[in-house]
Amino acid sequence: MTQDTDTRSLLELSDALASGDTSSLALTEAALSRIAAVDSALNSFITVDEEGALQAAQAADARIASGDAGPLTGIPIAHKDIFCTEGLRTSCGSRMLDGFTPPYDATVVERFREAGAVLIGKTNMDEFAMGSSNENSFYGPCLNPWDTNRVPGGSSGGSAAAVAAGLVAAATGTDTGGSIRQPAAFCGITGLKPTYGLVSRLGMIAYASSLDQGGPMARSAEDCAILLQVMAAHDPRDSTSAKRPLENYRDQLQQPVEGLRIGIPKEYFGEGLDSGVAAVIEAALKEYEALGATLHEISLPRTALSIPAYYVVAPAEASTNLSRYDGVRYGHRCENPSDLEDLYTRSREEGFGDEVQRRILVGTYALSSGYYDAYYKKAQQVRRLIAGDFASAFESVDVIAGPTTPGVAFELGSKTNDPTAMYLEDIYTLSVNLAGLPAMSLPAGFSNGLPVGLQLIGQHFDEARLLATAHQFQQRNDWHRKTPTMEASS
């Protein structure tokens, strides 16, 4: 039988709660029922916290009844399993942390709890956020709800699949090189990677500290604006957190597109871009022209260098961050080690998957004596040049647009034996992280029955303009409202 899904927006759910048409308990029970019915076919959740969710829903209903409710109060959401949650397993998709229960909440989790959102559970992900397909999870791959023979993208694939399938209305993700935007594109939802530093990284398990950034994943730009309103705030406990005035992103969604200068990088439309994806993106750009925007060809000449630069910088930082998992303090510990070296070696060998081990080795090599200047230092110099390319482009345009990914969601297993081919999936997203810019992916249509994402890139801390640009597009079409048909398990 077909499982009913709730496709209402966050605003619609909030209005229904405020009017008494439904309750948080009813929404939560319905979400838990949907997850039980269909998630065995998707594997989008690692942990479902039924008891905690029902308790939070009852507390939210009391808060709504007292008149102390915000836009997210009582609404079930999910967190990527990279955010620490007090008293609830946080695995980061790895055997290394399979038994880890944090004693504190990440700042992002803390802020959602304060807003009254109901945490349903923790979503599947590539181990330690290393991957572009969600096939690197210790708990097995998450599957794409549009075609379960295909990947949902990574590393935030579980969050994207859960939202696309209607299991929850919204979820959090993290983006180190495209890990919010790429799965959002593959699953036909909206995902925003904020400016580096806008969202606190405290309690978000580190992959590459100078690149990692948490962000919202939902059906629409309006929903992402509501979520970002909660997520974006200075955190004095995070030294990389930007100290900026709070913005009301939802109030700025009506900014007109008329007169907006949209830059089209010629490097994003060359060899490697699927023709079906190109046709969808070109049609979306025509819609922006109809709204009064102007299109301008620009050049980001070092786009191709983003892949080698990223895959030196990110593994180098990962090598440092993951050195703490040694079998001594916390994380997986091997059985009966013969000595300290054996403890370190076997604990890490057993706890980390192949892709994580590969990136640790690459990163350690790049940081080693005699190679630091040749690789890591050079990659950081290229990173600065990439940021300069964007700065030059933004002198003449307001927003940059293009495809999020070169193709639609690919088949499971089709790239697992070819890491280079997998890395090329991120060609249009990596440079944004290297430059620390905000960017988002929004549904723009379909190619061969699968979703295609349009990527919008903005200047530092220009999330309000990005969200408004996406919102105006979504007022003209309903691509973001399309939902895959999910069959309930027998």
Domain boundaries, the chain: 10-259+443-454+462-481
Structure pTM?
0.96
Q: Which residue type does 483 have?
A: T
Tokens at 404, concatenated: 């999020």
Angstrom distances, CA of residue 282 to CA of 276, 422, 448, 449: 10, 25, 16, 18
Give residue for tokens 């594997």. 43
Q: So what's the pLDDT on residue 400?
A: 98
Give the pLDDT score at 423.
Answer: 86
Q: What is the pLDDT along the chain (490 residues), one digit of tens a residue?
A: 345 678 899 999 999 999 999 999 999 999 999 999 999 999 999 999 999 999 999 999 999 999 999 999 999 999 999 999 999 999 999 999 999 999 999 999 999 999 999 999 999 999 999 999 999 999 999 999 999 999 999 999 999 999 999 999 999 999 999 999 999 999 999 999 999 999 999 999 999 999 999 999 999 999 999 999 999 999 999 999 999 999 999 999 999 999 999 999 999 999 899 999 999 999 999 999 999 999 999 999 999 999 999 999 999 999 999 999 999 988 999 999 999 999 999 999 999 999 999 999 999 999 998 899 999 999 999 999 999 999 999 999 999 999 999 999 999 999 988 888 888 899 999 999 999 999 999 999 999 999 999 999 999 999 999 999 999 999 999 999 999 987 765 5
pLDDT for the residue numbered 485: 86
461, amino acid identity = F
Backbone angles phi, psi at 338, to 5 degrees: -80, -30
> b/e map of 405-415 (b: 16 or more CB within 10 Å)?
bbbbbbebeeb
Q: What does residue 477 show for φ and ψ, rounded to 5 degrees?
A: -150, 175
The token duo for 291 is 């709204």
Question: CA–CA separation, 231 vs 38, rounded Å?
Answer: 29
Length of the chain in terms of residues written? 490
Q: Assess contact for 151 and 103: CB atoms under 8 A.
A: no
Query: How far is CA 136 from each of CA 153, 165, 206, 352, rounded to the nearest angstrom?
Result: 11, 21, 17, 10
Closest CA to 196 of 174, 226, 171, 172: 174
Which H or E element spans position 278? helix 275-290
Q: Does domain 10-259+443-454+462-481 have CATH number 3.90.1300.10?
A: yes
Provide the CA 217 distance to its chain's centre, in angstroms.
7
Query: Amino acid identity of 468?
Result: A
User: Which residues lie closer than 8 Å to 232 by C-beta, 6 or more apart?
Assistant: 194, 198, 199, 246, 247, 249, 463
Catalytic center residues: 80, 155, 179
Distance CA 415, CA 413 (A): 6
Q: How much is the pLDDT for 419?
A: 83
Residue 222: both structure tokens together: 């309006």
